[in-house]
Structures are given as C-alpha cells and as structure tokens.
A and B are shown apart, each in its own frame.
Chain A
Amino acid sequence: MSALLEVQDLVKRFPLGGTRKTVQAVNGVEFTIDRGETLALVGESGSGKTTIGRCVTGLIEPTAGTISFDGKPMGRGRDIRSKGLRGRIQFVFQEPAESLDPRQRIGETLGEPLRYLGVTRADRERRVLDVARRLGLADSTLDQFPAELSAGQQQRVGIGRAVITDPELIVLDEPTSALDPTARAEIVDLLIRLQREFGTAYLFISHDLSTVRFLSHRVAVLYLGTIVEQAAAEALFARPLHPYSVGLLASVLLPNPRLKPSSAVTLEGEIPSPIDLPPGCSLAGRCPFVGERCRTTRPPPTAVGPAHYVSCFHHERVAALDRTVDHFARFQQESNRLLSVGADGN
C-alpha cells in the first residue's frame, strides 16, 4: 500500500527583495504519511516547519521536489490547487482568533468550506450541526461571533472548519501554541478522538514537544530546513541520536522539580539565519561534537534502527553518551500517581 502523502526532495527558496540572495527555507526534505497516521514536524522558529505545511496544502508552490497525494503528484502553477484535491487536505492555523472572520457567525464559518464543494444549503446546515456536536460546541454557539468565544473554543471552530469536508489529511500548524495548558490538553484530546473516529492523517507542526509526544506516531526533527532525525515517537523521546534532538529534548521543562533538564548536550547560541547557508552540516556552528568533516560535507540520513534515520556523522558518539533516565517516561509515572488519587472526592 502506498503512503497517503509522499514528499520527495522538497526545496523551497524565497527571493530576498533587492538582492540576489535567497532564503533557503526548505532544503531537500523527504517524508511520508500513511492513512490515519500522525507525523509531527518539530523544530524552532525559522526551521521551515510552516513552509513545508504550506507546500503540502498547495498554498505555496515548491521550488523543487515532488509532493504526491494518494499516489498522484500534485499540480504545478495554476493547477496547484486542483479541483480533485479540494476538501481532501485541510489546514488548521496557529492563531484561532486571527484565522476566523470576526464578522461571520460561527455557523457560517463552519459551513463555508462546503459551499465551494457544491453542497446544498440544507445539507450544509445538517453537517454544521453534526460537526458542532462532535466538537462539543453548544448549538447556540453557531449564532455567535468569534469574539464571544474563548481561545479554546475558537480553535475548536478552526478544527471544525477543517474536518467538515471529511479530509484525509489535516495540516495542523501549531494549533495549541496560543492556548493555556488546560485548553491545550482539551484540543489534543479532541484531535486524538477525531483521528480514531475518522482515520484522518495529521501533519502536526509544533515546537511544543510535550504536546507532540501525546499526539504523534512518528516525529521528524527539523533544523534549518533539513530533517536531522526521523523516528517513531517513543524511540525518539527515549533515545534521540542527533545532537540537535538531544539538545532540544533536554530543554523541555517538565512540571516536576526533580526532573531537571539534563545537560548531556548544550546547544550554544541560536538558530542561524537561513540566508546563505554554509556548505556542511547546518548545526556545525552550535554542536559540541563538531569535526572537520561537518563543516564541509552535509551528513546524509543514515538508518540506525527500524524506520529511524539520523543525519549526523557522529551519531555513534551521541549514542555512547552517558544518559540519565528517560525523563518523559519518569514524569508520566509520577503524573499517573498524582492523578490517580482523590478525583472522586476521597
């Protein structure tokens, strides 16, 4: 069976106004997503996460490379948003408040995608009601305006607008980063439930690693437009093998004072500008393992386990690091203990 989405050697450059320079936003990215699967793209600002999401949705055109959906390559130029794909790939935006039309009632917003698919008015109203119930929105919400809703409810509407067309793939661009932790957990639960019910695949774009861990089957770690490591979620969180993944995971703060962020790898400085990238490994300037070869040659992806790829010449040295326990697993144990008592009033 072929994958639902297949991205090969994706490159996207943006010209820089007034110069001959380009912003090298995405540099040869490859991944696949199966039906009903969640792939998380994680990375810091400027790593190219959102650009990849926009290419996949056909909102922008790639500079090079191919994106195939359901076995067929996506169109180019004017065909980029071909009619056949309409409604099958959907997008959920980061800022719920900004992505909703402030002067449109929630019901209209939810039903709008169906208008372009030629669904009749009566059918639209029925499906809007149906979606609102699945999202846990009261029927009265449909007559309200976005400003009357909380941020969590607004994001539910953003998700509802995406699922109403029964898409096979939803690109979620940081859907929870503008929300409080409690609202964030609710949205994550909703996404998991919708996926179980309808078998929708997700491309989940995020820099929030604790949410990624709840939601994803596989994770691709992105740094300066390149995937540096790709693995099953449990494998990556338990034993990351790229220095950048190690540093990224070590900087996640967990709400338990005894689980201090470990310091096996410290990343100095910040992500450099994606204009005029140096030839070698993109992490060379920040990496404690950097060697001569890293500065001249780009490390190719190497298989280090089942469906686990790392682009690093020194991944064996990373693997040999003396590492403390898997903080995420320990935290979950602790958290299970805390939450298991007292909920029923005793």
Chain B
Amino acid sequence: MVAAPILDISDLWVSFPAYRAEPVRALKGVDLAIPPGEFIGLVGESGSGKTTLARAAMGLVPPPGIIERGQVLFNGRNMGQIEDEARRAVLGRELAMVIANPRAELNPVVPVGRQISNIVFYHLSVSRAEADRRALEMLRAVRIPDAERRFAAYPHELSGGMAQRVVIAIALACTPKLVISDDATSGLDVTVQTQVLDLLKTMVAEKGASALFITRDIAITAHYCSRIAVIFAGEIVELAPVATFFERPAHPYSITLLAAFSHSPELRLRWTRPPEVDAAPIPAGGCAFAARCVRRRERCLAEAPLLRPLAGGRSVRCHFPVDESVT
C-alpha cells in the first residue's frame, strides 16, 4: 500500500486580480503529490509560478491573490482554508521553508542561536534552557564551526553560507515533515552551494522528512531529487523520475532547459524558435508553450494538451512529446 502523501495538491488554480483586465492566472490546475520521504524538484523560469506554488502549499497566497479552484492538503489539512492560529501551529513545526536570501529572513537584531531557540520554545513547549540546548545542538548539526561562540553572533557577523546554515537549522529545529527550499542556494558560491545542499539533503533524510526543491537550476534537481516536475506558465508540463528525465526528456520545454547547458550554440539554436516577423498572433486556447516551441504543429494552436501519463511513471503535457518510448 502506498502511504498517503504528505502534501497533496489537486487541480490548484491561483489568480491575481488585475486592474480592468482578466486576472493573472499564476497557477492553472496544478496536481502534485509528495509521498513521505520523497525529494521532489520543481523547476521553471522566473514567473512560471514556482514560488506561488510554495506559498499556496503553506496557505500563504499573498493578497490580493486567491485560490480560485482546487485544494492543497498538507498532512490531511486544507491549507487554503486553515485558520491563522492553526496555520501558525503548522508552519515551522511540521512544514518549514528555506528561502534564497538568508539575511532577509534572519532578524538582524537577535543573536542567531536565540532565533533557533525561539522556534523550539514556541512550538515544542519546552523550557528556555532546553530550547537553547536544542538550538546549540542544531548549530553543531549544520556544522557551524565554533558553535558555542556563534550562538551569540548576529546575522551580519556571519558569511552568506553560514547564514544559510542557520536558516536550515531553524527550518529543521522542530523536525518538520516537509521542507520547502525556494532557491535556497542561489546566492551562494559553488563550493558552498554543494556543502549546503549536501547538508540539507542528509539532515532532511535523517529525519525521514520530504522535501520540495524549488529552483531555476535544473542541475540541482539532477543530484538531489528523485522526481522532477517542470512548470511552465503555471502548468506542470512534465513530471518524471529523475533518472528517466535526464536520460530521455519528453517535453520540448524540458529540452530547452537542458539545452541551456550545451556547449554548442548550433544545437541550442535548434531548440529555440526563431523570432518571426509578421507572424500571426498565437490564438488563445492552444498550448501555452506553442509560441516558443520548435515542434509546434497545427493541433498545438487549436487544442491545449492535457497532462497525460507515459510509461515509466512519467507524465507530459504535450501532443507531440520528444520521447514516448515505453521502457
């Protein structure tokens, strides 16, 4: 029997009202389920809806945005309709988030050890001394050298990599069931990035939690996730096990993401649709990717493709996927 997913998003539509215009639909019918213990990557470019999805998962769609349709179930709770009080009990305790800019997340006037201990004190109803002890333990666990001294340090006294470790310590202090990382390492140098990602992966795995890695760098998902979801214009266009995805990507957009790493400008250009002068405008109602797709045909402009399963646990939203092989 398959265990119930820890996060279950079904047919989620999120929109932002616009002045005298159609609302902007940031998410258009997203389905995504994360079983316990899984590491899933969510990849897409800026503006594709990645962060909106994370905010919706936490029940924090920023106003004036609304959930138009569908629901988000976290551990059985409907995060779209949760009361503030109940949500506060969930966030930081069972569901934690690590964001891109650690200095913006940390309170600049509170010592970092205290910031970890605060969340333990608030959620786990332990004594202050016990919370401090847990905080110090977490600082050691995220391998901050000289943890006793750093406990009293302020965020500005730490390097970016150290600050990100503190944020991870805060996220994991109450052993959450799901950790969402929103481009957590994008501001870090490469040597520090791998250290921080390794650490995050080990610690989340040790606690048996699940993780959602949101990133625009597809390379991260190749090494830290078991499944990958590619999001384009608010829709998941491909969902596949990592091993299959990087071996045989199915959606043309997935290939353009991989093409960005190619050494050969000629091959990259093969997957870029040349700008057309005097082209007829792309009619609404077709595939959202049609305007940029090199494999576009008549049907793509007329009919929006649905996310449909392929063999090998893959799904793709495309009439003419690049790879349809069965094994």
Contact = CB atoms under 8 A, between A and B. Distances in A.
B145 to A, nearest CB: 7
Contacts of B194: 251, 253, 261
A269 interface: yes
Which of A44, A185, A248, A257 has the most chain B CB within a 10 Å cutoff? A257
B260 A182 contact: yes
B275 interface: yes
Interface stretch (A8-16, A309-317, A331-339): A331-339
A342 B261 contact: no
A257 B218 CA distance: 11
B99 interface: no
A254 B222 contact: yes
B150 interface: no
A340 B267 contact: yes
A257 B246 contact: yes
A230 B274 CA distance: 38
A136 interface: yes
Interface residues of B, number: 48
B297 A335 contact: no
A223 to B, nearest CB: 11
Contacts of A192: 265
Nearest to B161: A270
Interface stretch (A85-93, A112-120, A205-213): A205-213
Nearest to A136: B275
Contact of A214 (B192, B263, B272, B294): B263
A144 B285 CA distance: 29
B291 interface: no
Contact of B260 (A184, A269, A336): A184
A248 B256 contact: no
Interface in B41-72: 45-46
Nearest to A207: B189
Contacts of A256: 222, 246
A182 B45 CA distance: 8
Given A182-B45, A257-B243, A343 B263 contact: no
Nearest to B294: A343
Contacts of B189: 44-45, 207, 270-271
B191 interface: yes
Given A181-B261, A184-B260, A207-B190, 17 more contacts: A44-B190, A44-B191, A180-B46, A182-B256, A182-B260, A185-B261, A192-B265, A251-B191, A256-B246, A258-B246, A270-B189, A270-B192, A335-B258, A335-B262, A335-B263, A339-B268, A345-B320
Interface of A: 44-45, 136, 151, 180-186, 189, 192, 207, 209-210, 213-214, 247-248, 251-258, 260-261, 267, 269-271, 331-332, 335-336, 338-345
Interface of B: 45-46, 145, 159-162, 189-194, 216-220, 222-223, 242-243, 246, 249, 255-265, 267-272, 275, 294-295, 297, 320, 322-323
